[in-house]
């Protein structure tokens, strides 16, 4: 297996990223109990541990996705998940998504550091030329968060997906290119330094 199909273990000061496994299900169920987390996701909120186990099994069975767990580096608690997906080794591109974290980790350094580590893996280790994100056109909070990373809005895919409520979703596409990566990396590192100095 080459590194483009490898789920890495990445260690930071605020978050550890590791291959998602079934043993993370109890922690994910606890972290995902806030209904607002699931408003814009393509998966319904698990109502039981068994639902969480089915959700994780589906993620692990998806051949287009490399799912990772996000662990609080201080407490060791499961904070959420993220993934690489739509991996195109030939053209050296991939997407970051299927991402959610528990309510108490939102707007913290955990999310910023997780994105920095994922981008470092993609650009500095894999030699990616293009890393992208997809988000619901209605999810303005997610769009602002992706823009704060330094990503560029590419456009909108119309009627791109069917939401869990059956409505059609328009998807906003963002990306960072290898040429843009040094400036994006500097910006994310500065944000983490600001948090550490507080």
Question: What pLDDT is attached to residue 194?
Answer: 86
CA distance 178 to 150: 12
10-residue mean pLDDT series, the chain (198 residues): 92 98 98 96 95 98 97 98 98 98 94 97 98 97 94 98 94 98 97 82
CA distance 16 to 76: 8
Structure tokens at 179: 């040429």
Other C-beta atoms lying within 10 Å of the C-beta of residue 100: 21
From residue 70, how far is each of 24, 49, 78, 141 by CA, in Å? 10, 18, 6, 20
Question: What pLDDT is attached to residue 107?
Answer: 87
* Angle, CA of 153, 59 and 57, to the nearest 5°: 165
What residue ranges define each of the domains in the chain, with the CATH number in brackets? 3-197 (3.40.630.30)
CA distance 53 to 47: 11
């Amino acid at each position: 297996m080459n590194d483009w199909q490898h789920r890495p273990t990445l260690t930071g000061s605020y978050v550890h990223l590791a291959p998602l496994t079934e043993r993370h299900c109890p922690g994910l169920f606890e972290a995902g109990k806030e209904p607002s987390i699931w408003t814009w996701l393509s998966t319904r909120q698990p109502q039981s541990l068994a639902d969480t186990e089915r959700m994780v099994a589906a993620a692990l069975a998806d051949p287009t996705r490399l799912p990772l767990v996000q662990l609080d580096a201080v407490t060791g608690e499961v904070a959420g998940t993220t993934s690489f997906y739509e991996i195109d080794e030939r053209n050296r591109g991939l997407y970051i998504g299927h991402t959610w974290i528990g309510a108490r980790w939102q707007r913290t350094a955990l999310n910023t550091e997780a994105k920095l580590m994922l981008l470092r893996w993609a650009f500095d280790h894999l030699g990616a030329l293009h890393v992208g994100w997809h988000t619901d056109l209605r999810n303005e909070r997610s769009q602002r968060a992706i823009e704060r990373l330094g990503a560029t809005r590419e456009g909108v895919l119309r009627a791109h997906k069917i939401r869990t409520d059956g409505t059609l979703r328009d998807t906003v596409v963002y990306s960072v290119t290898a040429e843009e990566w040094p400036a994006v990396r500097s910006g994310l590192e500065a944000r983490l330094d600001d948090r550490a100095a507080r």
